[in-house]
Structure 1
Amino acid sequence: MSLDIVFVTETFPPEVNGVAMTVGRLVDGMRQRGHRVSVIRPRQGAADTGSEFEQPVSGLPLPGYPGLRFGLPAGRMLARQWRLRRPDLVHVVTEGPLGWSAVSTARRLGIPVTSGFHTNFDRYSVHYGVGWLRPAVAAYLRTLHRRTQATMVPTEALAADLAGEGLSGVRVVGRGVDTQLFDPTRRSALLRQAWGVPEGGLACLYVGRMAAEKNLALVEKSFAAIQSVRPDARLIWVGDGPAAAALRLRHDDHCFAGVRLGESLATHYASADFFLFPSLSETYGNVVAEAMASGLPVLAYRSAAAAELIRDGLNGRLVSPGDETQYLESALDLARAGPLLLSELAAAARLSIMPRNWASVVERFESVAREAMGSSGAGLICPA
């Protein structure tokens, strides 16, 4: 039986971030499986009028992130629409005011509602000078998810953390990666030359949002250490964000490629030699899987996707969360590694990621959605 599902999200393609990409994959995948899927999201610009299955609503700019917006509460509009056409399920992707109003409205109308836990917003507060707000933000997030039938998460570790905090209904859905797009065969000697990497030189890569919560200072320190033993090394930054301008001012010898999408992004991954990713704020980290699929050894903390995907010394390098000294030592180990060892790590990274595909993730999402519908008490009016 096909389902009528409404996704409520603060971010959606063509916006460029891990949550938008993941939601886009889920929406497309569910449509391919024959379901009717509509999306409610903040308006992405003055000319954004939406489409038959995408409805833009009012929003405000997200502080510190030009181009991203959070949605304003829309309970009355949602109630009016859902009374006229009642969906089988509402899935709330993000926990902003729009998401909260969607949860409240769905509960009031007795519509099954699920949520996704994609971002550790409580951890972000520390990086923006409002760490004192972290307990309140964490409490808000947990309260929202407790009001849904199921909270979908990407990893077993996150599921265990949330369950330990008293959240019931946590379900692991996982994340996929496009192994046809992200492929080592896209490696480009011409691109490496454009980066200024000499023959036999070392190309170190960072891909992602350039923001305080990504621990970019450790990328800078790691590359400085790498250059001390490999003067032929070059650091390539792919992405944009509030920290980008300051990074460019500090490092005119680095290569800043800006935001890259599709085949261009895949070529940038495949043309590097290893990937530096020291973030400790991730719930998953899609870039880790994309880098591994592209045949890159990844150096990361044992957290989120890295803890699940990387086997230290076999297909990448893992260090204890927060141990900066160990991270720098591991960066030097990779810099000193010969071409044979790097190629062995690269091949193992690619091989280990091959079984992870979006089709199985979408199938799991559908299974959890149906489970939530069955456990919701169809027809009951839930307290708001």
Structure 2
Amino acid sequence: MKYKIAIVISGIIFMAGCSSYDKTGFNGNTKRNWHSMGYIDKEGYNISGYSDEGYDREGYDKYGYDVESYDKEGYNKGRYNREGYDKSGYRQDGWNDEGWSGKGVNKETGTKYDKYGWSREYENKKTKTLYDEYGWSYFGVNKKTKTEYDEKGYTIDGINRETGTKYNKKGWSREELNKVTKTAYDADGYSIYGYTEAGYNKAGYSKEGYDKIGYDKYGYDKEGYDREGYNKYGYDQGGSNRKGYNRKGYDKNGYDRNHYDKYGWNDEKNNRYTKGLYDKKGRTFDEFYSKIKRPVVFIPSPDIYVGGYDENGYDSKGYDRQGYNNLGYNRRGYDKYGYNEEGLDKEGFNRKKVYIGEK
């Protein structure tokens, strides 16, 4: 009976001992392993999962470092990886592979910009923006088009989109150089804009629209005068037309086409309005000019008329070779359409063919 009791007790102790082992075979009390009957399992790791050298199955110690003192992310206690870079890509000497320090200083220039004028954050030195003065970003994106091509179809390196070369279909580069001549002018001597080195197009005009003599396609110079010195209204710089009369109808000597001055007197002392020696107030030529100076330069008749006509084509009576005066009326008082100064024809009809009555 005593033996049976002893066996039962031993069994209970044995079963109690077995129930103290975890799934890895270690006894939480004795720290022994069921399989190896020692303090380490068959693979050489203790109850805490470390080998005698202090590393777990993944090769890291309790502080998370491997035998070479690098953590699972590959960084050592100094926070550098095996290649010598920290997590931001900087070496122990403080520079990254692009030559920048952690504070954004360029190694080559010693400033915040590299030798090409770009900062670490891709800011341009001249413009202080993400684009240079030509409108290109650090990555070759055009500011206006937001693509790798500018408005003319060229990349930052000057390659044309359509041809895949530095020249477009017409043979011009972005720098406006000709493919054949390698200059700013083609074989015929014209630029990309169609002008010669002297500044004229094939029609012979400059960019401003004037020929070599200085006249535009309408025949006027920059001041607005033609080759004869008259503007589009027919007057020269002195204000006279081709017949020598100004806008008020008087020549440089103060006479109109009928050789009357502005007050209506001719050199024969006749008045243009009364057709006689007196004006409408009954004054003679001498009486009228007794108190004021006559506004003309008197020229004796023999010096005025050559072949019966003066230099403006009028005779001594004020009529041209067609028989009309400066107002456009003939000796009988009618214009070339047959109307007098009152607008009536010989039969008394006005220009609207309404009968007014004979004058």
- TM bucket by the smaller chain? under 0.3
TM-score of the two chains, using structure 1 as the length reference: 0.15
Larger CA Rg, structure 1 vs 2: 2
Higher helix share: 1
Higher strand share: 1
TM-score of the two chains, using structure 2 as the length reference: 0.16
**Higher RCO, 1 vs 2 (CA within 8 Å, ≥6 residues apart):** 1
